[in-house]
Structures are given as C-alpha cells and as structure tokens.
A and B are shown apart, each in its own frame.
Chain A
Amino acid sequence: MYKTLLILRYLRKRRIAWVSLIAVTLCTALMLVVISVMGGWLRMFRLSFHGLSGDVLVQSTSMSGFPNYDEMVQAIEALPAVGVGNAVPVIKTFGLINLNNSITEGVQVLGYPVEKIGNVNEWPQSLYRQHVAREEAVEKLADTKLKLTAEEKAYYQKLSSNKAPPSFDLVPDASRRVDKLPDGVVFPELLKAKITYLPNENLLMWHGEMSEDERNQLLVLSNDPGYHADIFALFKASDFRRVVPNVRGRDPGTWPGIILGEGVALIHKNKEGKLSGRIPELTRVPVTLTVLGIPPDGRADMTAPPPARPYWVVDDSRTKVYQYDSQTVYVPFDKLQEDLGMTAQKAEDGTVLYGPRASEIDIRIKPGFDLNKTRDEIEKACDAVVQTKFRSGTLGSFGGYAVQTWEESNRVWLHAIENEKVLVMFLFGLISIVAVFLIFCIFYMIVVEKTRDIGIIKSVGATSSGVAGIFLGYGLAIGIVGAGAGLLLAYLIVHHINELHSWLGRAFKVVIWDPQVYAFDTIPNTMDAKEVTVIVIVAILSAVLGALLPAIRAARLHPVEALRWE
C-alpha cells in the first residue's frame, strides 16, 4: 500500500521526475510517428503496386515484347486448380505526348484492353469520371446534411446509376462544374428552359439534346465576358469534336480516347518545375502520342517518321503513385499494338512470320493460394506454349520473359523501403536510449535525495524488495503515463501530419515530403496496432529499465546508514 501512496506522492511532488516523463513521452511519440509514417509508406507502396500490377506478371525482357500471348493467356487461364483467375495482356512502352499543341512530355504508355483490365487490377478505380465521380455522387445522395435541390438530386442519381465498365469512350456528361456564375446572369429565352445553374454545387446543367440554334447561341454567349467561358463547356464533347478541323487526315470524330495520369492531364509545370495550374477543359484538349516500335531484331526503322496518333482525352486517373500519376498515359491496347508494329507480321507471300505481341500478361490469383507455387505453374504453362510454337523451343530473337509475383516485380522498391524503415527505426532507437539514460540519472538523483526516507521506510519494516518496488513502480508509472501521453501525441501528429506538413511549407518554406522522392502525394497517416503495441510496451520497459539500477541501490541501502545520511 505504501508503495502506491509514495509513488503517487513522488510523481506529484518531485518535479524533476517530470523531465523523465517528458523524455519518455517525446521518445515514444517520435518512434510512433516515424514507424507509422515509414510503415504506412511501405503499406501504401505495397497496396498501390499490388493494385496496379495484378498478382503474378509475365513480363517481356525486351522492348519488342513476345508473340503468342493469346495462347499463353489461354494456357494460364486453364489453371484454375492453382488459383488462377483472369489473365490480361498489356503493352508497356514509352512515348512522347503533346498536349493542346503546346507542351510535349515524355511518358510511360500503357496499352490496356480496358474492358478486361479490371479483372486483374484495381486501376479502373483510379478513374475520375468513370469511378470517383460516381462514388462522390453516391456519397452526396446519402448525405442528408447537403439539402440537395431536385435538380441536383436528379443529376447525382444519373451519375451514380451509371454502372458501365471502364472504357476509352467519353462518358456522356451534360453538366459542368464552373468557378461561379457572375451575379445577374440571365440566359436568353431560348436557352432558359435547357440550362440550369445549381449555385450550391456551382454546376451548370444542360437538359436534353442540343440543336444547331442552341449551339450557336451558346457559342455567342461564351464569347461574352459577362457570361462565363464555362458555358462553352456545355457543348457535348462529341458536338465539339465535329467542328475541330481534321488533323493529319484523321477525322477527329474517330480519334480514340486516351486516359491521362492526373499529373499529365491537369497540371502544368511552372518555370521552377513545380506543378501548378489546370487545363480548364480536359476533354476538349487534342492530344498527340508518338511511340516508337521496336522490331524483334532490335533495329527500329529510322527512315519513316514514328507514328503520331491524335487522341481525345476521356478521363484522368489518380492511382496515388507519383510515377504513374505524373508520367503515365493509358491508351487502347489494339491502337498501341498497331502503332508499335506489334501486330502479326507476315512475309511477302502472306504467311504469318509471328503473331501479335504483348509486353506483359497481368494475372489475378484467387485469395488463399500460394503465389510462389502458382507462379511456377504459370511459368511451366508459358514454357509449354513456347515449346509448341517455336521449333527451337525458345523465344529466340524475342528475348525471353520473366514470370514473377507482384512482390518480386517491385522488389527493388519494396526492399529499399523496408531497409530504410529498419535503418530509421534503428537510428531513432539509439536516440531513445538517451531517454533510458536520462531516467537512470534522474532516478539516481531521487534515490540519493531520498536516502534518509528509504532508511525511515526500512526502519518501519519495509523489506529491501519493497523499497526496490517503490522505485521500479515509480519507473513503471512514468513509463505508463509517458508512453500513454506519447501515444496520444503521436496519434495527433500522425493524423494531422499532412496539415502539419503543409503548414510547415507555408510558414517556413520547408518541404520534407517531396512526392517525386516518396512516390505518394500525401504522407501516410495511419497507425498499425501491432507496431504501436510493441513500441508502447518497449517504452514502458525502458522506463523500468532506467529505474532498475537506482532501485537496486535503494534496496541495498543499510537502514542505519540511510538514517544517518546527510
């Protein structure tokens, strides 16, 4: 009983102990923040890479890709016994993109069979118009606080009810988000019935079909500064596209769709190379993509200009992985295959030399199967296809392919982050040893200062272990209170780390989290229960450890000598 009483009294009366309490708090918070950010970073990496790549990948080792992917896909999909779900061929290459006839950038180009790609990865969920906007509409409909008007409700219902699979066609959207319509705007009689402005949502809506007359009226309005340029946006994209002159002999109405990573699509770089600004009307921006096909012999044809295909932007994608969002564009698989010369190659007499090529097959594995075992089975299946199709039994000049799990495919990144996490934890762990030493020093001081009290307690019959218990309990109390406060502090920091970071940026021009380095545009802000538990327990044990030697000294004190202590 006296132990509890004395520990509580000492905690309250000995201000110096608060220093050790603060040390424990700060070290615990430090470790928790570091491990949460690093661990969260790793988790985000794993989740994003996994989400974008499928579970097992067959990847070409050369830029020219491998033929007979159709047979491979069939062979792979014939393996449901080892958990294979779907397999989808993908083309991965690099290209030059020109936006709006002004900016040209180098980008990674992914050729997706868009209707199937959702079977193997989560990429469709990154599309704004075809997924995110729908989710937002569902949320808005569910939010009773919003007080939607009937028109807004109808609009969101229309948006959320669209369950079409992802495509490279423009999603019909007869409404536009505007900055804000100037006060006093009155629409001409002809348009009044067709146009609605939703002030709460800053939405401009067009109802029904658009006639020639109406289109002309809108054109006039959009040139009137009293109105808003956004009115122009009410043109259906298809209508607009009809009036764009032919580019290189291709009718704009037949241009295929392209989906841009949001960094490519929306954001211009300013003079310092920082990202800023938006292209106001994404779907009205003509885009030209230039790619260079590499034939199996590795010699690209340099005499003819590389194919440059015009596209219409139909959507933008936000995967949250910086490399993807800032420099990847997605185009239809068959169009890219055509432009790269990866279609079936025939000899002059019309015999097929080799079939169409792909550079990658993404495979979904059902949960509960051992990825490594399945990967081996898939490799066998692919090898069997090659052996039946090629007399030599190998891909020959096409190089080869590697069958890897998603973890193996991204291991360079994942390992780097795992190692960095361990290193940072180790370094911060070293710092935390300072806290243990601080507790030791402070407790030693307290024991020396309290020597006579220890003598008194012993003279009234306390045992040596009882006296040790006071100081160990004192250390334990400081550990529990300190680690608890540290947990709270870390929780607050981690959950507001992005606000904190942007405030730091505004106030001191300090940018610690550079998305170009860390791959994600936001700092991870989740805490893992297991990691938190381990750190809190270690913090409490450290405090007890710091108190251990002073406690032993106190226990060993001779009562008479302790009483005589001056």
Chain B
Amino acid sequence: MGMSNSNMQDTLTHRETPVRKPISSEIILRAQGLRRLFRMGDSSVEVLKGVDMAIRRGEFIAIEGRSGSGKSTLLHILGALDAPDAGEVEFEGRKFDVLGRSNLRNAQFGFVFQFYHLLPELNVLENTLLAPMIARSWLTFRSQKKELTGRAVAVLESLGMSHRLKHKPSQLSGGERQRVAIARALMNSPKVLFADEPTGNLDAETGVQIMGVLEKLHRDEGQTIVMVTHDRALARTADRILVLKEGRLQKAEETAEKAS
C-alpha cells in the first residue's frame, strides 16, 4: 500500500533530490450530489446543497470558503468521518458504504486537524502508532512491533520530531504537535491525506513550516492531499482550488503557478 518504508525515508530526508510525481488521470475520490442537513431543534440548515467533485490521484486540492460555508462538513464526508444525507462518495470507484467508513479512515485516509487532536495519555511515538494499533490485535501488534516502531520513528524523523519520541503532547509546542499529527496521519501511508485548517492554530512562521511539510509530501511523494482553508494565500499552495459558497462549489480553478 503506497510507498515503501525506505522510499519514504529517502524522499523525505534527502531534500535535494526531489522527484516530482505526475498527477495521474485516475480518479481516486468522486462525490456526487452531496447534501448535508443539520437540524437544530425545529429549524434545519442545509450546509451542502448538492456538491459534485472528483479528485485525481496525486492531486493537491484546496477547498476554500468562509467560516460556515460547509467546507469542513464536505471534508468530513469526503474523509468518511460523516455520511451525507443524500448523494454518494466513491473511493477508487467503490462506494464508501460498501468499503466501510472506519476501515477507510484507518487504512486509506489520514487526517490532520486544526487542533492537532492527539491523545493526551499517549506519548509522541504511541500517538503516531495509533492507526496500526487500531488495525491490529494485541498479538499481531506485538509480533510486528519492531518493524512498526521503526517506521513510526522514520516518519517522525522525517518531520524533525525524532528527539521527542517519549514526550507527551502537553510537553510540545503547537508546531510540534501538528507534526506529530501529520506523522500519525502518514503512518499507514494513506492514499488521501485530509487537512482541516492545518495551520489555523499556529503562528505565521510555524504555519509556513507545516505547509512546507504538506507541499513537500505532495511534490516528492505524489501524496494526494485535500485541504480545507479559509485563507486564499494558503490555498494557492494547492494544484487546484475549489471554492465553496452557500453550500455549492463555485468554480474549480487551477492555480496559475501549478498549471504552468
């Protein structure tokens, strides 16, 4: 599944040899007629009013919109965290309902959130190992522990976090926490990485660093990334920007820089 351990290590640590992977024409995620309704007592708000979109393998997509435009909801539905009231999402041509949402979240997708969402009781290494731990029984995990830990350390190292393996999230800075969150998301070599305002809680400089990490992943690994942001400047990092307004996608623009 995805890149091998050594490949990952090579490309993330040897920055001077970037190998740009081309965006394939294969559609990895396709959404059709997505509707999502939130009920608040008697009244209800339709956040998504029929969204159609397709994401190709290796693409970096930014979904831009104001707060309350439904961009996070769209991301959650695309990332199998939430189910639409109407419409369907397909991963590699197969419906989410068939594949099983928790299975998709564990094996195919990775998430980076604005508020990092690390488990406070676990240290950096354990947080990073969460996805493989969830997928495996105690016995299987024990038998593969060395290999999995090695990979987790490699991922953390590539993100510059190898010196903090035994630290608890509360002992880390915001930027460091987000790096751990990215490491956790990358641990299972996800086919799609979802990022929900990944820099929203960070200062400008750290935000730029984190964006650099995502960008590099995309550029060097061909990592498919779906990012939600309200910041146009940040969105420009992506290959393509989708603007969500009043529950509908306005236009799909390719950033000039990327298109060239």
Contacts and interface: CB of A to CB of B under 8 A. Distances in A.
B138 A9 contact: no
B126 A459 contact: no
B120 A2 contact: no
B126 A5 contact: yes
A459 B138 contact: no
B102 A462 contact: yes
Contacts of B252: none
Interface stretch (B128-136, B198-206, B218-226): B128-136
Contacts of B9: none
A137 B7 CA distance: 84
Interface in A534-566: 558-560, 563
Interface in A69-128: none
B117 to A, nearest CB: 5
B82 A460 contact: no
Given A458-B102, A559-B82, A10 B121 contact: yes
A9 B135 CA distance: 19
Given A559-B81, A559-B82, A560-B82, A461 B117 contact: no
B121 A463 contact: no
A465 to B, nearest CB: 10
B81 A13 contact: no
Contact of B111 (A13, A459, A558): A459
A452 B118 CA distance: 10
B184 A460 contact: yes
B135 A5 contact: no
A224 to B, nearest CB: 83
Contact of B133 (A2, A459, A559, A563): A2
What's the dominant secondary structure at chain A's contact region? helix
A4 B131 CA distance: 14
A4 B136 CA distance: 12
A339 interface: no
A1 interface: yes
A461 B103 contact: yes
Contacts of B140: 1
Interface class of chain B by DSSP: helix
A460 B130 contact: yes
A466 interface: yes
Nearest to A558: B82
Contact of A457 (B82, B107, B134, B142): B134
Contacts of B102: 458, 461-464
B119 A457 contact: yes
Contacts of A1: 133-134, 136-138, 140-142
Interface size class of B (residues with CB under 8 A): 20 to 34
Interface residues of A, number: 25
A466 B126 contact: no
B107 A456 contact: no
Interface string B102-116: 111111000101000
Contacts of A462: 102, 106, 134
Given A2-B133, A5-B133, A460 B106 contact: yes
Contacts of A13: 121
Given A460-B130, A461-B106, A5 B117 contact: no
A463 B133 CA distance: 13
Contacts of B117: 452, 455-456, 459, 563
A4 B138 contact: yes
A133 interface: no
Contacts of B118: 456
B76 interface: yes
B82 A2 contact: no
Contacts of A460: 105-106, 111, 130-131, 134, 184
A453 interface: yes
B131 A461 contact: yes
A461 B121 contact: no
A2 B102 CA distance: 15
A423 B102 CA distance: 50
Nearest to A462: B134
A400 B81 CA distance: 86
A116 to B, nearest CB: 68
A10 B103 CA distance: 25
Contacts of B81: 458-459, 559-560, 563
Given A458-B102, A461-B106, A466-B134, 5 more contacts: A5-B122, A457-B130, A459-B111, A460-B184, A563-B117
8 contacts: A1-B138, A2-B134, A6-B121, A456-B117, A456-B119, A458-B105, A461-B105, A559-B82
5 smallest beta-carbon distances between A and B, as pairs: A461-B106, A1-B141, A2-B133, A9-B121, A461-B105
